[in-house]
Structure formats: C-alpha cells, structure tokens
Chains A and B, each alone.
Chain A
Amino acid sequence: LAKTTQPISMDSYEGQEVNITCSHNNIATNDYITWYQQFPSQGPRFIIQGYKTKVTNEVASLFIPADRKSSTLSLPRVSLSDTAVYYCLVGAPMNRDDKIIFGKGTRLHILP
C-alpha cells in the first residue's frame, strides 16, 4: 500500500474553495486514489475516487497530475457542515477482501 502524506489540519471560511493535497510518491500502476470524509462519531464516507486527470461528482473534484505522485481534493464553496476529517488513500481496491489502511487524515475546520 502506497504511503500518503497530507496536511494535518486546515482552516477555511464559508463560501471558499478548499483544496487538500495528498502526496503519494510511490503510487503503483494499478493504484487508485480515494478520498473519504469522516464527521465526529460517525464512520467514514466515500467522497471520490480517481485514477488519472480529473474526476468530478456532485460533492467534489479530484485533480491528479500526469505523474500521479500527488492528488488534490477540491471542495467548492464550503459550508460549516464540511468541517470533518478527510482521508486520502492509495491502493488497488480490485478485490472485496483488500484491506483499507488509513493515514492520519486532514482535519478541516470551516469558520463562519
């Protein structure tokens, strides 16, 4: 499993766009990049997953450069309810019995 590095914490204000970058220098060819969100006292929730270039869904965008050694989760116009911990994970989740190992995550705090 590729090791990931992301900022421990970030602060932003309501209405701003927030970008959280994750480094994964030893990403393998078969690895995907997946981001999860976790609110206090809840289980993590899948946000977005990508392999290369850009992926967008109703919640976020994921930007992956050509070398795939990093990725950026972009949250448009955040609100107070986006305050959570965001985890970047890299792996080849092809099988249902593949383990998911979490890193430390980024604690995002949205201010009014």
Chain B
Amino acid sequence: GAVVSQHPSWVICKSGTSVKIECRSLDFQATTMFWYRQFPKQSLMLMATSNEGSKATYEQGVEKDKFLINHASLTLSTLTVTSAHPEDSSFYICSARVRVAQTTEAFFGQGTRLTVV
C-alpha cells in the first residue's frame, strides 16, 4: 500500500522553542493531508487539513498561529508547533488518502511524539 512517512519519530524540546514535523507521501502525490493530535488513552483529534498550494483549514478551537502548516509540494506537508509549552506535548499524526477503485483509503504516518520540557 501507499506509504506516509513522518519525521522525526520523537522530539524533546524546551519550552518556548518551535518544533517542525514533516509528513511525506513516499509513493504518491497528496494534494491534501490531515494532521491529528492524540493525547494518552484518547482518540485522534483532527487539527487541520493541509492543502497543497493554499492555506490550511483548521478545526474549531485549533490556533492557526500556534500550529503553522505548510504544504509546499505534492509530497510534503509540515506542521510547526510554535513557542511550544508542556501542554503541547502529545502524539502528532499525519494522514493522506489514496484513491482505490470507487473509494479512497487513508494512510497514516507513524506519528511523532513531542515532549516539551
């Protein structure tokens, strides 16, 4: 199946610094990618939809100035957590869909564990 790759797998940063997470579609082009956040023992929460060549669409309650999304090419979307604080510590996951027959199938990255100290 299609492969979505995230980098890094984990990162530890100091409070107040910014962290960039990359999401790549390795063998297909993705005009749209999705970013999720997941806290321990909870489900995935959709943060935003990343659109190639245009602004991202953020879900209600997600600060767009805090979580900067850039989708500059058909295979790369980046999420930058700006001025990170301990409450931003979470598991961040990206996703993209691939058309399969009359429907689509979603593929997910392996996730990035962010710890802000």
Contacts and interface: CB of A to CB of B under 8 A. Distances in A.
Partners in one complex: yes
Interface in B32-68: 32, 34, 36, 43-46, 49, 51
B111 A49 contact: no
A99 B58 CA distance: 12
A91 to B, nearest CB: 10
Q: Is the interface of A mostly helix, strand, loop or mixed?
A: loop
A47 to B, nearest CB: 11
A52 B1 CA distance: 24
A50 to B, nearest CB: 10
A94 B113 CA distance: 31
A96 B99 CA distance: 7
Q: Which of A49, A97, A102 has the most CB of B within 10 A?
A: A97
Interface stretch (A13-21, A38-46, A58-66): A38-46
Contacts of B113: 41
Counting contact residues on chain B (CB < 8 A from A), the size range is: 20 to 34
B5 to A, nearest CB: 10
Interface of A: 32, 36, 41-46, 49, 87, 93-105
29 contacts: A32-B103, A36-B106, A41-B91, A42-B110, A42-B111, A43-B4, A43-B93, A43-B111, A44-B93, A44-B106, A46-B106, A49-B105, A93-B105, A93-B106, A94-B102, A96-B30, A96-B32, A96-B97, A96-B98, A96-B99, A97-B51, A97-B97, A98-B104, A100-B46, A100-B106, A101-B46, A102-B43, A104-B43, A105-B43
Interface of B: 1, 4, 6, 30-32, 34, 36, 43-46, 49, 51, 91, 93, 95-99, 102-111, 113
